[in-house]
Amino acid sequence: MISNYRRSRRKKVSSWHRLKRRLTRKGVVPVNKDHPRYHFLSCICEGIRAVSSEPNQGPKDALGPEDFSQVIRKKVNFKGKEFEFESYASSVFATIRRSVGIEEDVYVRAVAPSNLPYLEFISNSKSGQDFFLSNDMQCMFKSNRPRDVRFFLCLLEDYIKHFISYPHSLLVKYIGCYTIKFRGRPRKFFLVMQSIFFPSARIEDRFDVKGCTAGRYQK
């Protein structure tokens, strides 16, 4: 009888943990093997691992002009499919990560996990861009238009000065910039940012506040 009680209790605890996990991940979908973006995100994961293994891209106490224009480019072959992967201003973004308290090994484990699926963030954004989260929900990937990324990179020097001076700033914390290019397809640009939903356990309500009312409505 005691054995049956223990089994019943373990089952209840297990069910509660599964329910709690679903509730804290409301609005996201695991990118498993049957997900249409699974292969694309797997290639991104391999690309980040490839560029992260390159030397001389860690945080620096003194950044020079060459760090802001740095591009690490790698040819990657994943399951027979070759693609080109780029990391922009790697040392600059590593320095930003350090200034906001993210260690390099923690970052790489989050954005390039060995066996955990990414999460698709279900967004009502009108931009048409893709949003994905690392499995621990610490980092968010967002695809961006090339001109927007290039404009942001032009502002990068002022951006990092702000976070070095104000590491607890409420500005969005961009902590990585990458591109991926498959043969015969346009280059895809995306930024990695520290998710404002991390850690999710402390969040009770979420609001999507817009700065403009034009073309927006409430169902």
Q: Is the pLDDT of residue 3 over 90?
A: no
Q: Is the pLDDT of residue 215 over 70?
A: no
Confidence (pLDDT) at 17: 45
What are the structural domain ranges in the chain? 28-198
What percentage of the chain has pLDDT greater than the value 90?
Answer: 50
Query: Which of 74, 98, 99, 92 lies closest to 181, judged by CA?
Result: 74
Six-digit token string for 129: 């861009």
Confidence (pLDDT) at 181: 97
User: Which overall architecture, per CATH, does domain 28-198 show?
Assistant: 2-Layer Sandwich (3.30)
Give mean pLDDT, residues 142-169: 93
Query: Which of 39, 59, 3 lies closest to 185, judged by CA?
Result: 39
Model pTM above 0.75: yes
What percentage of the chain has pLDDT greater than the value 70?
Answer: 75
Express each pLDDT in 185-213 by its tens digit. Answer: 999 999 999 987 666 666 677 676 766 66
